[in-house]
Amino acid sequence: MVDIILKKGKEKAAIQRHPWVFSGALEKVKGKPEDGDVVKVFAFDNEFLGYGYFNSNSRVAVRLLEWDEKQVIDRSWYQNRLKQAIASRKFILTEETNTCRLVFSEADFLPGLIVDKYADFLSLQILSSGIEKVKTDIVEVLRSELNPKGIFDKSDATARGHEGLPIENGLLWGENPPEFLEVKENGIVYNINIAEGQKSGFYCDQRDNRKILASYTKGKKVLDCFSYSGGFSLNSLANGAEAVTSVDSSALAIDTLKQNIDLNKFEAAKVTTIQSDVNKQLRAFKDSGELFDVIVLDPPKYAPSRSALDRAARAYKDLNRLGMLLLKPGGLLATFSCSGAVDIETFKQIIAWAALDAGKEVQIIKQFCQPEDHPVRISFSEGEYLKGLLLRVL
């Protein structure tokens, strides 16, 4: 195993158990590790810091996964980590819910590995060269622990690119999932398309927030923006919403949402689906004077990195300003950001800015976060990405 020595004074983050060692922090690489090899990282004074995956392409030169020198990073180490991650999600999986995230990368000490469960199938994202190297072992452990019908690779192209990995998207083991696979979340059935769908097929990180929001929608007229396959729309219908309008720019999303309305035997007449750009559609509602009781804004990640923060802040502000203008007095706005670079305080500032521009007084009545299957390690705040506010707009 290759030893890596850090520059003097660059050991603090690793001591505090932050899992990223940036390339600029390396003083000496004692040997020639291949990308994805496990290396041993030491401080300048030779104090052991941790084991991690080496990568020569990435800005993050080492992804730490173990801080105990006595451990051996072998197959049984992976088995233990995977078992621990899976066991910690047991309480989420019930009669009512058969989909959740089983492994969440750094938060589960497996940097670059995401495993989502969709009924009897597993969808993997392999985003680091270290995990790529032990892919076969991981697939075998997942098979023996969970006995799935099939394991699918649905890795995100951009993240793999940073690690110098080719794009992969296909079956790793077992049966191919059907084109539309039925999963259940809080008693609501969703058709999901693992191969064609976005991200790993379904946004299970909004599970709790969909349910919370739905509790405010009985008898209400709801506008669900960036609806994807209808998470917020379907939960609102289940809770007795009077009418739901769902907007998404993707034809596949709208098509899946319509299937989901039928699958759950909801009244199709209560639902209007609009395939359109949300900003354009919100402006059209403003021109026509149509107002809503509850509006959900769940846009894609506007700030993929800190450098995109200014532009993203303006986009969030504009979107929220428009949303506020389309509510009846006292209406509710559920607004989200899944950009890790936008923390909750920054998000609140953006919302304050939007309220000022809209000429509205706004109260925060609840704060949303990511659910238990997307834990945040206390030493890795970058893992906290999903945040939201439930606002009463006066």
Interface with ligand SAH (CB under 6 A): 198, 203, 206, 226-229, 231-232, 248-250, 253, 277-278, 298, 300
Residue nearest to ligand SAH (CB): 231
Task: Kindly state the greatest CA–CA separation across the chain.
Answer: 70
Of 152 and 226, which has the nearer Cβ to ligand SAH? 226
Q: Are 295 and 325 in contact (CB under 8 A)?
A: no
For residue 176, give every residue at least 6 positions away whose Cβ sits within 8 Å of its Cβ, in sequence order, or none. 150, 152
> Which tokens is 287 given?
């021109």
- Taking the complex as a whole, how short is the minimal distance between the CB of residue 185 and ligand SAH, in angstroms? 10
Instruction: Tell me how far, at minimum, the Cβ of 250 lies from ligand SAH, in Å.
Output: 4
Backbone angles phi, psi at 153, to 5 degrees: -100, 120
Least spacing, CB of residue 33 vs ligand SAH, in Å: 38
Q: Could you say which of 100, 204, 225, 338 is catalytic?
A: 338
Please identify, using beta-carbon distances, which residue of 134 and 386 lies nearer to ligand SAH. 386
Q: How far is the CB of 212 from ligand SAH (least distance, A)?
A: 13
Joined together, the tokens standing for residue 72 give 């051996």
> Dihedral of CA 169/174/180/181: which sign?
negative
| Closest distance of CB 208 from ligand SAH, Å | 12
Burial class (CB in 10 A: 0-12, 13-18, 19+), 343: middle
- Which of residues 375 and 388 has its CB atom nearest to ligand SAH in the complex? 388
Nearer to ligand SAH, 57 or 249 (CB): 249
Separation of alpha carbons 361 and 48, rounded Å: 54
DSSP code of 34?
P
Q: How far is the CB of 199 from ligand SAH (least distance, A)?
A: 8
The yes-or-no answer on residue 204 being catalytic is no
Q: Which is nearer to ligand SAH, 122 or 254 (CB)?
A: 254
Amino acid at 167: I
- Mapping DSSP to helix (H, G, I), strand (E, B) and coil, where does residue 127 land? coil
Q: How far apart are CA 391 and CA 393, in angstroms?
A: 6
Instruction: Write down the least CB distance from residue 281 to ligand SAH, Å.
Output: 8
Q: Which is nearer to ligand SAH, 55 or 260 (CB)?
A: 260
Q: Please state, in angstroms and as integers, the Cα–Cα distance from residue 105 to each residue in 53, 216, 384, 393, following that order.
A: 13, 33, 12, 37
Spell out where the chain has E strands.
3-6, 20-22, 26-30, 38-42, 48-54, 60-66, 99-104, 113-118, 121-126, 150-154, 169-174, 181-185, 188-192, 221-225, 243-248, 271-275, 292-297, 327-337, 362-369, 387-393
Q: Which positions are catalytic? A: 338
